[in-house]
Amino acid sequence: MVFRNPTEERQGFGCIFDMDGVLIDSYRAHFESWRMIAAEEGLPITEPQFARTFGRTSREIIAALWGEKTCDEAKIADLDRRKEAAFRDLIREDFPIMPGARELLDELRAHGFLLAIGSSGPPENVALTLERLGRQSLFSAVVTGMDVTRGKPDPQVFLLAAERLGLAPERCVVIEDAPAGIQAAHAAGAKAVGLASTGRTHQDLAAADLVVDHLHELSPALLRTLISPRLHG
């Protein structure tokens, strides 16, 4: 994939997609992979605990759930590696594509939107998702957890995605399923759409500029109006 990093910003609009909970309905696969690793290690995890941390990096989740029991960096790295490998095995077996994802991607590109991924996930997870989506060629930029040093709600991931698209963040909309992601999008200067996917409610995403239940509710015209109402109102 070729990343664009021009010296001058383009005109037009961009859409930056979070991956987990937006392009794939990965809540159950993530919870199951955490449950498997926790059982192997004799560590506690409940679904409410997981739900509170969903959308953060694996290392952040390990620190939040088991910080006192996993102080060793080598152990944290081992848990992280095993958990993400288990997750990929699960979604290879049953790929949980979000309804309407392919259709929305196709429609946005057909109407001139530049597309990016802005995910906290490891590059292996993002690569597998893009492969299974079959839409790699539609994305002009991909940012993963390996590309950033600060996780959401810090805006770094979305600022970098906009930069790689060659667009000002103000000309971008972010589609997210997590409150931290909504906060990160706004901190970057972008508009934010909250997708109330598995484990999320409209109340959780109330800070977004628009909250929807399904990707089918979104269109290029709606997102253009959200980004620049004065041009499209």
Q: What is the CATH number of domain 27-93?
A: 1.10.150
Which residues carry out catalysis?
18
CATH 3.40.50.1000 in the chain, residues? 14-25+96-232
Q: Which of 11, 8, 14 is nearest to 191 (CA)?
A: 14
Q: What are phi and psi of 191, to 5 degrees?
A: -80, 160
Alpha-carbon distance of 178 to 54, in angstroms, equals 8
Verdict on whether the full-model pTM lies above 0.85: yes
Q: SS3 string of 50-112?
A: HHHHCCCCHHHHHHHHHCCCCCCHHHHHHHHHHHHHHHHHHHHHCCCECCCHHHHHHHHHHCC
pLDDT at 68: 79
Q: Which of 75, 34, 76, 69 is nearest to 51 (CA)?
A: 34
pLDDT at 9: 55
What burial letters (b/e) apply to 41-60, b meaning 16+ CB within 10 Å?
beeebeeebbeebbbbbbbb
Alpha-carbon distance of 159 to 118, in angstroms, equals 9
CATH 1.10.150 in the chain, residues? 27-93
β-partners of residue 15 are 115, 173
Q: Which of 102, 18, 81, 79 is nearest to 54 (CA)?
A: 18
pLDDT at 54: 80
- What are the residues whose beta carbons fall under 8 Å from the beta carbon of 79, sequence distance 6 or more? 37, 41, 58, 62, 70
In the three-class reduction of DSSP (H, G, I as helix; E, B as strand; rest coil), residue 8 is classed as coil
In the three-class reduction of DSSP (H, G, I as helix; E, B as strand; rest coil), residue 161 is classed as helix
Alpha-carbon distance of 202 to 148, in angstroms, equals 28
Q: What is the pLDDT along the chain (233 residues), one digit of tens a residue?
A: 434 444 345 689 999 999 999 999 999 999 999 999 999 999 999 999 888 888 777 888 888 889 877 778 888 899 999 999 999 999 999 999 999 999 999 999 999 999 999 998 999 999 999 999 999 999 999 999 999 988 899 999 999 999 999 999 999 999 999 999 999 999 999 999 999 998 899 999 999 999 999 999 999 999 999 998 855 44
pLDDT at 230: 56
Task: Specify the CATH number for 14-25+96-232; select among 3.90.1150.10, 3.40.50.1000, 2.40.30.10, 3.20.20.60.
Answer: 3.40.50.1000
pLDDT at 67: 83
Give Rg (Cα) of the chain: 17
pLDDT at 37: 94
Alpha-carbon distance of 119 to 122, in angstroms, equals 8
Ramachandran sector of residue 189 (left: φ over 0; alpha: ψ -120 to 50; beta: rest): left
